[in-house]
């Protein structure tokens, strides 16, 4: 059975949610490992290794952009949100969750005022 056949009947949101949670956990661990390498002064990794991370990022962003389009979200490719109606969408954005408390409050205040923000 190929990998594609295994997912033909199991592509429900719940199953994909579990896979993404596992991916997120792996990504966090990988980021911590890379930070440790950086602290040790290691600054050169094989190109194939870097390519895997770049490709994974591209695939995840592509899937997210597809769902954003399907759900009619206001997110464009640059992560720009405009006006009050964008507040629920910006709060779901992973970049928003990485902002400081002050950055989050500032972003939400700008949207409340009808401004445009890019995160």
Among 52, 49, 31, 35, CA closest to 94: 31
- Alpha carbon separation from 113 to 37, 79, 116 (Å, rounded): 43, 18, 9
Q: Per residue in 46-90, pLDDT tens?
A: 999 999 999 998 888 888 888 877 776 544 455 678 888 788 888
pLDDT value of residue 84? 81
Top-confidence residue, 53 or 10: 53
Asked whether residue 3 carries a pLDDT value surpassing 70, the answer given is no
């Amino acid at each position: 059975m190929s990998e594609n056949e295994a997912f033909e009947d199991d592509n429900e949101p719940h199953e994909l949610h579990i896979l993404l949670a596992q991916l997120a956990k792996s990504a966090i661990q990988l980021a911590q490992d890379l930070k440790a390498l950086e602290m040790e002064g290691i600054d050169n990794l094989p190109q194939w290794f870097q390519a895997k991370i770049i490709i994974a990022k591209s695939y995840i962003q592509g899937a997210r952009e597809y769902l954003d389009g399907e759900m009619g979200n206001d997110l464009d490719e640059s992560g720009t949100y405009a006006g009050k109606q964008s507040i629920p969408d910006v709060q779901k954005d992973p970049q928003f969750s990485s902002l400081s408390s002050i950055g989050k409050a500032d972003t939400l205040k700008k949207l409340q005022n009808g401004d445009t923000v890019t995160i």
